[in-house]
């Protein structure tokens, strides 16, 4: 069976994602659409609005197989995020990778990707600023070029043009709306049902504000020396985090207090997520957790090694970071599903 992979967050899954999955299947002529989906925390260093289990179930509206992008890579910089997604696609033996982009000209994307290949995106500066070309500085184009740089030559690359709205649009625009706009609508209690393919229970929706008490405890209860061991805690940032936390009472005001010209909002937000999850170093990608599948997805994974449809004592050490992320996420979300009591979500499609 021919397969096409999509690297996504589905935060939450909406009609734009449904369109993307349909176009990926059509353009690749694939039998199987695989979603490589971020877990409980996302690439901008935010807790996902809904748990990975709820989002994986929603993704079955357009995908046949949903696996978890390992947590370290799911909340990393664009290059590591892309590397993690592409590596996962290789483990899954995907034939193609389809990705959304503001520019769907693969040759242009490849040329620009080669031009900025040496950019140091870990410097703390905006990657878009370092690129110096507004034509390619949109968020999806940036990720698209990272996928191009990370991809094996044997992987067929398929850019799919983003339609009707932009990544940062904050207002609902009818049937196709950005995830940002939908999250804003959920927070405000507005009706967003026209923008999603299936109903969503918003009762368990969360944001950084909900997690702020846990973050505050973490920073207050650890010494600067202990915080210094957190991944990407550089140039004395641990002292900056400590000096402002005691008098901060919500996440938004705390971010405004610690933000500097040198470090972007996303850079600091990602650092706070590393701090909350106690992430001190990266992790190799050896094994992949399957979150959801239909009959096609189940047939596809037969015979592929290093895939796990449930977590138990025997394989738990392979997913320690994902398990910890879910435990911390559930403290705030109230979700009862965790990595041990929730086997693969299965949707039967043939009778």
Give the strand pairing for 3-8 and 288-294: unpaired
Cis peptide before 108 (omega within 30 of 0): no
Reduce the DSSP state of residue 34 to 3 states and report it.
strand
Q: Are 16 and 163 in contact (CB under 8 A)?
A: yes
Distances (CA, A) of 23 to 6, 100, 161, 264, 340: 11, 10, 10, 34, 34
User: For the chain, what percent of residues have pLDDT higher than 70?
Assistant: 92
How far CA 321 is from CA of 38, 210, 305, in Å, comes to: 13, 21, 21
316-328: pLDDT as tens digits: 999 999 999 999 9
Greatest extent of the chain over all pairs of C-alpha atoms, in Å: 61
CA–CA separation, 265 vs 9, rounded Å?
Answer: 19
pTM, full prediction: 0.93
Q: What is the pLDDT of residues 70-80, one digit of tens each?
A: 999 999 999 99
pLDDT in the model for residue 171: 87
Higher per-residue confidence, 260 vs 243: 243
- How many Å separate Cα 224 from the centre of its chain? 29
pLDDT of residue 57 exceeding 80: yes
- In tens, the pLDDT along 177-206 reads 999 999 999 999 999 999 999 999 999 999
Q: pLDDT tens digits, residue range 245-266?
A: 999 999 999 999 999 888 889 9
Query: Distances in Å between the alpha carbon of 235 and those of 93, 220, 243, 311?
Result: 41, 19, 15, 38
The pLDDT value given to residue 221: 97
For residue 64, what is the DSSP state? Answer: S
The answer to whether 3 and 95 have CB atoms below 8 angstroms apart is: yes
């Amino acid at each position: 069976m021919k397969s096409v992979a999509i690297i996504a967050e589905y935060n939450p899954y909406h009609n734009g994602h449904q369109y993307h999955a349909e176009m990926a299947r059509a353009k690749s002529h694939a039998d199987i659409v695989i979603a490589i989906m971020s877990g409980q925390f996302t690439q901008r260093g935010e807790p996902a609005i809904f748990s990975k289990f709820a989002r994986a179930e929603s993704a079955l509206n357009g995908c046949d197989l949903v696996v978890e992008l390992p947590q370290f890579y799911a909340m990393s910089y664009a290059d590591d995020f892309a590397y993690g997604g592409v590596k996962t696609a290789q483990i899954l033996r995907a034939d193609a990778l389809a990705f959304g982009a503001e520019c769907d000209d693969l040759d242009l994307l490849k040329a620009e990707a080669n031009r900025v290949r040496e950019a140091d995106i870990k410097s703390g500066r905006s990657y878009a600023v370092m690129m110096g070309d507004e034509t390619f500085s949109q968020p999806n184009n940036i990720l698209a070029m990272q996928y191009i740089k990370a991809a094996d030559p044997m992987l067929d690359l398929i850019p799919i043009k983003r339609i009707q709205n932009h990544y940062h649009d904050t207002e609902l625009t009818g049937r196709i709306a950005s995830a940002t706009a939908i999250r804003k609508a959920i927070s405000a209690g507005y009706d967003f049902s026209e923008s999603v393919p299936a109903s969503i229970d918003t009762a368990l929706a969360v944001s950084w504000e909900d997690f702020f008490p846990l973050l505050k405890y973490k920073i207050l209860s650890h010494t600067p020396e202990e915080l210094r061991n957190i991944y990407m805690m550089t140039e004395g940032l641990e002292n900056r985090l400590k000096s402002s936390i005691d008098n901060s009472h919500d996440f938004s005001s705390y971010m405004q207090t610690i933000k500097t010209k040198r470090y972007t909002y996303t850079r600091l937000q990602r650092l706070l997520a590393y701090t909350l999850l106690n992430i001190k170093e990266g992790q190799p990608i050896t094994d992949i957790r399957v979150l959801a599948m239909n009959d096609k997805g189940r047939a596809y994974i037969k015979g592929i090694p290093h895939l796990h449809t449930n977590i138990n004592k025997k394989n738990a050490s392979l997913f320690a970071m994902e398990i910890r992320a879910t435990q911390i996420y559930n403290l705030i979300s109230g979700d009862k599903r965790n990595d041990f009591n929730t086997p693969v979500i299965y949707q039967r499609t043939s009778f």
